């Protein structure tokens, strides 16, 4: 079967007067749908792979942070009477937290303190915990929330610190 692509006969082909022209149009439409579907699925697969890669890197950094936290020594020797709020204030001033410490609530005996910090980078959060542990203050419990900030993530941390024993 030979198809003549004479411009004058295009009208007869599109109106279905030529044998096989309907089959040809159906074939062209099916090919276009298959091509469009392949492009759409390819885009979805790329998006899924990108998301998976991002989640894997986040999981890896969180695993590293958890392993680093487990490796920290929280049983530092306590010498004398420790005022947790004073120690925290000294550490936050040294690290430069400033106005990012949104709330400090000490207990009357000075042995425990509730602190809320916002917009911390991961390094700053680990530095605070490390410095406090070195001075005999440990984290009894904490809630850490991660918030996206462009390419990086900032943390909001609410923690209860107490004098180590």
Query: On the CB side of 29, how many CA atoms lie within 13 Å of its CA?
Result: 6
SS3 29: helix
Q: Which pTM was predicted?
A: 0.51
Q: What gap in Å lies between CA 102 and CA 139, rounded to an integer?
A: 18
- When pLDDT is cut at 50, 70 and 90, the band that residue 65 belongs to is confident
Q: pLDDT at position 150, please?
A: 79
Q: What gap in Å lies between CA 56 and CA 69, rounded to an integer?
A: 20
Contact 131, 89 (CB under 8 A): no
Per-residue pLDDT tens for 83-135?
A: 888 889 999 999 898 899 999 998 887 788 999 999 998 888 889 999 998 88
Q: What gap in Å lies between CA 2 and CA 66, rounded to an integer?
A: 71
60 vs 80, which has greater pLDDT? 60
- Average the pLDDT over 59-77 and give the result: 73
Q: pLDDT at position 76, please?
A: 47
* Number of Cβ within a 10 Å radius of residue 164: 19
């Amino acid at each position: 079967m030979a198809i003549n692509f004479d411009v004058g006969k295009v009208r007869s082909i599109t109106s279905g007067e030529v044998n096989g022209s309907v089959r040809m149009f159906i074939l062209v439409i099916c090919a276009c749908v298959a091509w469009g579907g392949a492009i759409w699925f390819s885009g979805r697969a790329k998006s899924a792979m990108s998301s998976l890669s991002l989640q894997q890197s986040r999981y890896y950094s969180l695993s590293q942070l958890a392993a680093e936290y487990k490796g920290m020594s929280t049983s530092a020797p306590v010498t004398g009477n420790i005022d947790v709020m004073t120690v925290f204030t000294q550490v936050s001033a040294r690290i430069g937290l400033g106005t990012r410490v949104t709330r400090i609530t000490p207990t009357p005996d000075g042995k425990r303190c509730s602190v809320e910090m916002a917009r911390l980078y991961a390094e700053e959060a680990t530095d605070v915990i490390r410095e406090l542990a070195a001075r005999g203050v440990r984290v009894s419990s904490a809630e850490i929330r991660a918030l996206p900030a462009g390419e990086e993530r900032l943390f909001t941390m609410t923690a209860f610190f107490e004098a180590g024993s």
